[in-house]
Amino acid sequence: MSGVKETKELLVAVLAVAPAIIKAAKDGIQISDAVEVYGKVVGDPVVKDKISAAIENVKLVPEEVKDLNFAEVVEIISAVLPEISAAIAATRE
């Protein structure tokens, strides 16, 4: 199988939720953090769309990563860099 569309969507979705988790857990992890993260995810249409796209064909991810080549790894890294930057920024807020 070729292509990494589903893998990119999954990683982008996971990382899109990371800033909300980081911000909620800054004062220690509590049950209320789950509610806060859920509210931010559901309330943000961009994150919600990323999660929906990731879930749609998530079962194809193992097949995609099974035969990754260098170009596909670079493509994945390029796709997730903005989300990684946002997660890093969230640790500084």
Calpha distance 76→7 (Å, rounded) = 8
Amino acid at position 90, single letter: A
Calpha distance 1→65 (Å, rounded) = 9
pLDDT digits (tens, 9 = 90+) for 59-89: 999 999 998 999 999 999 999 999 999 889 8
- The angle, 0 to 180 degrees and rounded to 10, between the axes of the packed helices 5-24 and 31-43 is 130
Q: Higher pLDDT residue, 24 or 2?
A: 24
Listed by start position, the domains of the chain span 5-92
Work out the average pLDDT over 33-37: 90
